[in-house]
Every structure is written in C-alpha cells, then in structure tokens.
C-alpha cells in the first residue's frame, strides 16, 4: 500500500470508529429522520382515513336533510347522529362518543337558505389535545363544508334559473395557462413550471449545504484531533511527503463525508416523503423538453465536487490554526456558514432577478455556483455552469495551494488560535 | 561518522529568542543528552533536528543532510518521539504500530517490525485493545516502541519518561539503552538530570537558549567537582 493510501485508510478507520461521527452523522440520520417521518405519517393517516363527526339537526328541513345525506356519503367522514335535545347535552354526548367535531344545524336553517338570507352551522371542535390530528380534523371540516356549500349553491341556481350551468355563474371567468419554454409552447401555467424546476433544483442546494458542512466539520475535526491528541508532530516527521499527508487526510475525510451525506439524504428523503400529501404536479420536465443531458449531469457533478473540495481545503487550513476540536469546529462554522447560506436564496429567486450588488456577491461566493448550475443545466445554459466551474477551480486551487504551503512550513505546528485560552509559550 | 552537526543555531518565535546560537555534534552510535530546565530550548532544538521547525539562522546536518534543504532525506533516517505525544485513540495498539510501520517497510518486513514493536512495548495481550483504554504509562511505552521498532539510524526522544512512574520509567530507560547497543544514535532531552546521566554517553547543558557546557557525564562531574549532573548544572549556571 502506498503512503497516501496508508494515511487515507487510517483516517477512515479512525473517523468511522469515533462514536460521535458514527452515531451522530451516520446512524442518527438513518434512524431518526425515518422514525420522525413515520410518526408524522401515522398521525396524518389516523385522521386522513376518516374523520369522525357528530351532527345534530334542530331544523329537520329539506336542506338540513340534504346536508346530512351529503355528509354521510362523504368518504372522508364517519358520521355519528347525536340525539340529545339541547346543545350542551349534544356536546357531552359527542364527547362520550369520542367524536372530534360536532356540527349543530340550528332551527330555521332550511328557510334561511330558501330565502337566500344565508344560513349558519355551528361547528364545535372537541379538542382533547393539540396534536396534528386535531388540526387536520378542523381543516377537514372546512373542506367538507365548503364542498357542501358549493353543491347547495349549484342546487339553488338550478332551482332559480332552470337550464343554466351553475358552474358558469359561480366561476364566470376561467383561465387557461400557457408557457413558452425554449421556443416550445405547453398548455401549463408558468407557476407550475417554476414549481417543477424549483422542486427539481431544490434538492441540490440542500444536499450541497449538508455535504459542505459535513465535509468542513469532519476535516476540521480530523486535523484538530491530530493536534489535540498530540499525534500531528509524529505524523509530520515520518518519511512521507507533507502533500501525501494532506491528500490522505482530505481523501479519508471526503469518503466518510460522502457516506454521512448519503445517510443524511436517505434519512431526509424518508422524512420529507411523509409530508407529500398534496396533489402531484401533472407534468414532468421531460414532457416539456427540459431534461438534464448526460453533459449537464457531468458538469453539475464537477461543480459539486469542486465545491466540496474547496470546503475541505478551507476547513483544513482553518483547523491548522486551532489547538482543539471544539475551537476548530467553531472556527469552521463561523467561517463557512456565511459562505454557504446566501446561496440558499437561489432556491426561491432567480440570480438575474436579484439586485446587482447581491448578484455579484453571490457569484463571488464559491458555494453558490453548484446551486446556480443546478437550475442552469435544466435550461441547458452551460455557459454559466462552465464559468462557475472555472471560478471554483481557481478558488479551490488557490485554497489547496495555501493548504499545501502551510503543511510544508512550521506553521502547521506553531499556528494557533484558542478560544478562551492563551497559547502556551514554545519551549 | 557524525550523526548530528549543529552550528550556531538560532531560533526566534516572533520576538522570543528560544535558541541563541547553539553548536554541538553527536557521533554515530552515541546517546547524547540535552539537559536543562523547562523553557531552556531543549524541545525547540529537537523539533528543528526533526524537521518540524524552521531555522532562523545557523545550520543543522543529520548524517550529512541539511535539515532545511533536504528534510525528506533527514526524515528517512530519524524517528521522533515528542514529549506530549499521543496515539490514535480509536485504533488498537497493534493497529497503531502497523500504521506506522508501513511508512518504513513493505509486506513481511512490516509484520516483523510490528512484532519488534509489540516486544518493545511489553503490552502483551493488551496490544489488541484500543489505545483509549490504555493508562498513560502504557501509551508512553507504545509510543517508545513505535519510535524504536524500525531501528532508525537516529532516534530523537523528547523527555522519553515524561509522566511515567518509577517502574515504567526504569523500563523505558532499559529499552533505550538496549536500542543504542545495536548501534543506533539517540538524541534525547530531559529535565531529569539523573536520568540523562544514567543514559547518556555525552551531555550538553542548555539554559536560556545557550549551551552552557558539554562533555561526558564523568568529564563534567570532574570539571565542576560535582557528585551528579544536577550539581554540575547548578554550578554551570552560577559560572554564567
């Protein structure tokens, strides 16, 4: 095994056996996120299947019967008929029956609708906790009542103006959206296309941010551990080039960071999957010719790789100045976070729509470029992607050069920043 | 042959003058002790010979190779044990020795070197336990074993018995003596002057960045009419 590989393998072994890294960065995301998602999903499903509602009818008219029949036929509602004679008794009865919502149809409900004066229904939410199921039950009532209300409007319109389509009265203006993308017109509203591109490009900045923070923290920990455990000096006097030491440490850290990121992404995907309860977008990017080509994927991968390498080198340099792991992690967080976070705005806003000064700040930050590339490769705008890669290459090479220089001098041993403690005088 | 040749070595840390022009030579196969109080400049001198620190002025040659111009050549011939050294806590003692041996040998030679290291350490079956379960004494013996198992032409040992109890210190001293008998050169530092007297063929007294005197322990004791090196050092300081 060559000396670079010897250091790389040792680095991986050492990091993987560190309980803080193994549990905190690999096991917890794989277990905690899916478990959280599962619990959230279970909470939603418990109310999504059927919402138990109680109803008491003090009106006993035509429209109250229509209302109750519609409720009974709603697949999301399990109806319980309350037989009490007063509202107070009805509430007690509903609570006893473990019903979450009680609907009270007051006397005069039918006549109010017939006279077009507008009718009221009293909704009693019987809250036993403030969990997600209570919130969703209340939302379900609003949705069901809205639907029944519209159905009644249609019935009334048909009764008052026979032969007319009630839909045309309730919604006299309808819109049909078209979007022209890269010269191709598709019958889909632009908001939907924007949502689609954002949903596709959202994952890149999120994953990138996680990877960069993982890589930076792990690289800082790896270097600072050598200093804290007093192993660095021995390592630097071994018959191996300083560049091999730096490369071996960076390589080992990068491999473990990728494993940690994959664990995080898998766990996070399970978690996010639990929230997908809305309607799905009825169109894919392929349908409108916005596919990422193999070249686009390749360029995006290079852009992400370069950003990770830049973070790795930057963290190594910063950690060289510290004396212990805690100082290294703090210094890296304070330095790299401000370089990563501004790029998150690109998830929601287009680069060219931002104020000019802010646009150039984002372009100057190395970690913005993979996020810019994620959207640009979908639109086939390879120029800005290549520009970003070139900028990242220059930045990364610069940082790597500084890291290599620092490793070749005594600064790797003597440079020190300690948080809250004075450095010791050299002997 | 001369193992180490130091001429007018000066080292500054900013405005602090750690070494103010020291010169001495160490012959091959010799145990050379640097003695002096804390902050005298012993560790700085050893770190410079080990290629860790840069030279402000002067020259340092190890087996004829200049530490400033040919540090890689120097590193091929030395093994350095820092005073406050540690080992990788998540590796076992054996894995640690194996990791280190791979920088000096290949294949079967690595195995042989590790076996030598295990024997020097005296850790027996505990060698397969993780380093973070070791006592301070066990860790130090592992580190001494690491420094000597590859039988380097020059071993640089900074306070080799630092933090060890009497029994462990005695064991480590015996290991160093045995190692030197095989023909290797040892440059060591200690503020324990009795230890240096026991181990060294030649000694240099260092104080405030200057060599106060040097010679064999017997010569120095005669020169200052002293019972031991502690008395020699106090006399040498008084003469300055």
Alpha-carbon distance A405 to nearest alpha carbon in chain B (angstroms): 14
pLDDT in tens, chain B (240 residues): 899 999 999 999 888 999 999 999 999 999 999 998 888 899 999 999 999 999 999 999 999 999 999 999 999 999 999 998 999 999 999 999 999 999 999 888 999 999 999 999 989 999 999 999 999 889 999 999 999 999 999 999 999 988 788 888 888 898 898 888 888 999 999 888 888 988 999 999 998 999 999 999 999 999 999 998 888 988 888 776
pLDDT of residue A281: 55
Structure tokens given for A390: 């070139």
Give the ipTM: 0.93
CB contact under 8 A, A234 and B42: no
Pick from A230, A236, A425: which is nearest to B86 by CB?
A230
Separation in Å, CA A104 to CA A68, A78, A111, A408, B200: 11, 16, 16, 81, 101
Please name the residue of chain B whose CA is at the shortest distance from the CA of residue A407.
B52
Q: For residue A241, list chain B residues with Cβ-Cβ distance below 8 A.
A: 72
In this prediction, residues A350-375 reach a mean pLDDT of 88
Handedness of CA B120, B124, B130, B136 (dihedral sign): negative
CB contact under 8 A, B80 and A237: yes
Chain B interface, mutation test: which of A22, A227, A232, A233, most B Cβ atoms within 10 Å?
A233
pLDDT of residue A418: 58
Phi-psi region of A416 (alpha: psi -120 to 50; beta: other; left: phi over 0): beta
Structure tokens given for A293: 């080509």
Give the whole-angstrom CA distance, residue A101 versus residue A142. Answer: 11
Q: Give, as one character, the DSSP assignment of residue B59.
A: E
SS3 A129: coil
Give the whole-angstrom CA distance, residue B29 versus residue B154. Answer: 9
Cα A343 from chain centre: 15
Give the whole-angstrom CA distance, residue A230 versus residue A220. Answer: 15
More confident residue, A25 or A125: A125
Alpha-carbon distance B140 to nearest alpha carbon in chain A (angstroms): 12
Give the strand order in the sheet containing B78-81: B78-81, B154-158, B185-190, B31-35, B202-207, B210-215
- Assessment of whether the complete model's pTM goes beyond 0.90: no
Q: Give, as one character, the DSSP assignment of residue B130.
A: B
pLDDT of residue B2: 92
pLDDT of residue A263: 82
DSSP string, A267-324: HHHHHHHTT--SPPPS--GGGGT-PPPHHHHHHHHHHHHHHHHHHHHHHHHHHHTBSS
Give the whole-angstrom CA distance, residue B97 versus residue A168. Answer: 84
Q: Tell me the longest C-alpha to C-alpha distance in chain B.
A: 55
Give the whole-angstrom CA distance, residue A376 versus residue A382. Answer: 7
Give the whole-angstrom CA distance, residue A342 versus residue B171. Answer: 59
pLDDT tens for B196-212 read 988 999 999 998 999 99
Question: Which residue is associated with the tokens 């040998």?
Answer: B105
Share of chain A above pLDDT 90, in %: 13
Chain B interface, mutation test: which of A19, A226, A239, most B Cβ atoms within 10 Å?
A239
Q: For residue A6, list chain B residues with Cβ-Cβ distance below 8 A.
A: 99, 102-103
Separation in Å, CA A353 to CA A183, A339, B21: 21, 20, 65
Q: For residue B114, list chain A residues with Cβ-Cβ distance below 8 A.
A: none
Give the whole-angstrom CA distance, residue A151 versus residue A167. Answer: 10
Residue A277 has pLDDT above 50, yes or no: no
């Amino acid at each position: 095994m060559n000396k670079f590989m010897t250091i790389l393998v040792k680095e991986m072994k050492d990091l993987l056996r560190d309980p803080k890294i193994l549990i905190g960065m690999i096991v917890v995301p794989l277990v905690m996120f899916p478990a959280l998602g599962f619990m959230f999903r279970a909470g939603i499903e418990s109310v999504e299947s059927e919402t138990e509602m109680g109803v008491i009818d003090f009106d006993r008219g035509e429209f109250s019967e229509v209302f109750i029949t519609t409720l009974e036929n709603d697949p999301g509602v399990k109806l319980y008929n309350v037989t009490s004679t007063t509202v107070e008794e009805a509430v007690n009865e509903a609570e006893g029956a473990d019903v979450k919502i009680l609907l009270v149809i007051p006397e005069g409900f039918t006549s109010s609708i017939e006279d077009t004066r507008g009718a009221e229904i009293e909704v009693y939410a019987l809250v036993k906790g403030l969990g997600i199921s209570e919130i969703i039950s209340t939302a379900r009532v609003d949705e069901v009542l809205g639907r029944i209300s519209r159905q009644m409007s249609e019935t009334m319109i048909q009764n008052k103006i026979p032969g007319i389509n009630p839909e045309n009265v309730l919604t006299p203006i309808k819109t049909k959206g078209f979007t022209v993308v890269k010269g191709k017109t598709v019958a889909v509203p632009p908001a939907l296309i924007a949502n689609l591109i954002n949903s596709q490009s959202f994952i890149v900045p999120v994953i990138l941010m996680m990877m960069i923070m993982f890589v930076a923290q792990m690289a800082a920990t790896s270097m600072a551990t050598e200093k804290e455990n007093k192993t660095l000096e021995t390592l630097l006097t071994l018959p191996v080039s300083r560049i091999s030491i730096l490369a071996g440490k960076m390589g080992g850290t990068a491999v473990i960071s990728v494993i940690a990121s994959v664990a995080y992404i898998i766990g996070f995907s399970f978690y996010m999957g639990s929230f997908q309860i809305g309607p799905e977008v009825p169109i894919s990017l392929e349908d409108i010719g916005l596919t990422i080509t193999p070249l686009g994927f390749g360029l995006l991968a290079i852009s992400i790789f370069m950003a990770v390498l830049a973070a790795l080198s930057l963290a190594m340099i910063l950690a060289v100045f510290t004396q212990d792991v805690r100082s290294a992690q703090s210094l890296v967080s304070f330095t790299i976070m401000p370089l990563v976070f501004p790029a998150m705005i690109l998830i929601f806003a287009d680069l060219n729509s931002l104020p000019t000064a802010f646009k150039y700040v984002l372009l100057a930050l190395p970690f913005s470029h993979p996020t810019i590339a994620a959207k640009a490769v979908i639109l086939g705008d390879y120029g800005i992607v290549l520009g970003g890669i070139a900028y990242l290459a220059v930045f990364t090479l610069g940082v790597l050069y500084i890291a290599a220089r620092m490793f070749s001098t005594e600064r790797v041993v003597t440079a020190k920043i300690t948080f809250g403690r004075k450095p010791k005088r050299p002997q | 042959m001369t193992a180490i040749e130091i001429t007018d070595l000066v080292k500054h840390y900013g405005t602090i003058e750690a070494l103010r022009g020291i010169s001495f030579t160490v012959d091959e196969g010799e145990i050379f002790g640097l003695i002096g109080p804390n902050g005298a400049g012993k560790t700085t001198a050893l770190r410079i010979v080990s290629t860790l620190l840069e030279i402000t002025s002067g020259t340092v040659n190890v087996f004829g190779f200049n530490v400033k111009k040919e540090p890689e050549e120097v590193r091929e011939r030395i093994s350095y044990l820092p005073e406050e050294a540690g080992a990788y806590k998540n590796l076992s003692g054996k894995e640690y020795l194996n990791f280190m041996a791979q920088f000096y040998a290949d294949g079967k030679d690595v195995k042989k070197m590790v076996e030598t290291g295990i024997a020097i350490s005296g850790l027996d079956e505990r060698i397969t336990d993780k380093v973070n379960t070791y006592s301070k004494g066990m860790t130090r013996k592992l580190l001494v074993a690491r420094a000597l198992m590859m039988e380097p032409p020059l071993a640089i040992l900074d306070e080799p018995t630092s933090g060890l109890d009497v029994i462990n210190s005695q064991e480590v001293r015996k290991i160093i003596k045995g190692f030197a008998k095989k023909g290797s050169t040892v440059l060591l530092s200690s503020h324990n002057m009795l230890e240096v007297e026991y181990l060294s063929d030649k000694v240099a007294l260092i104080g405030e960045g200057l060599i106060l005197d040097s010679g064999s322990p017997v010569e120095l004791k005669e020169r200052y009419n002293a019972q031991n090196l502690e008395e020699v050092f106090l006399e040498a300081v008084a003469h300055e």
